[in-house]
Amino acid sequence: MRGILNGNLKLWHMVVVGVLFALITGGTVALSAGPAAFWPSGSVRLASAQNDNTISITGSNNPAVRVLHATLTVPSGKKADLQATFTTDLHHNGPGGTYAYCFGSITLDGSPANSNRLFNPGQYQLLGGAIATEPDAVSVAMSGVRKNVSSGFHDVSVYIDSAYQGCTLFARTLTIVADIHD
């Protein structure tokens, strides 16, 4: 320790100080520039929806049920890349049947009957199998993306379909992030 503070500057002292300086200032510049590099000011929009009401969906002969939706507007002359995430507490409608299956999809401006409306990757299987082997309740999530959505007013919806005993949903949330661009 005495050799460092005696005033004799050595090459390794300069190297250590240089590395420390580069780490401190380089890290500060990277941290301050990071968020702006991802999202220029004013280009990100958020939309969300939440509902705690219980919805029971039964049988594959019924059409898919819209369980939650949120709206957003893409400014005139712009396009948007959308990322949507849906979460719910899911229960099968046991114990009267043998099987329980639940399927979910996220759509843009319409029902999943029109596959051109689906967010990628498409339909999710949220629950499926023999009731005896499935848990009574699970928390599930699904997400999807749509690129280059045109300007205007849009409705992002979550649809759930079921087979056999069906499924019951509690505490649903939908969050949409829109990256607005030219």
Dihedral sign, Cα of residue 59, residue 60, residue 61, residue 66 = positive
Contact 51, 136 (CB under 8 A): no
What's the confidence (pLDDT) of residue 162? Answer: 85
Whether this model's pTM surpasses 0.95: no
The confidence score (pLDDT) of residue 33 equals: 44
pLDDT in tens, the chain (182 residues): 555 555 565 665 566 666 555 555 554 444 444 444 555 555 888 899 999 999 888 776 678 899 999 999 999 999 999 999 999 998 886 555 677 788 999 999 998 988 899 999 999 988 887 776 777 788 999 999 999 999 999 999 999 988 776 788 999 999 999 999 98
Secondary structure of 91-147 as H, E, C letters: EECCCCCCEEEEEEEEEECCCCCCHHHECECCCEEEEEEEHHHCCCEEEEEEEEEEE
Question: Is 117 in contact with 155 (CB distance < 8 Å)?
Answer: no
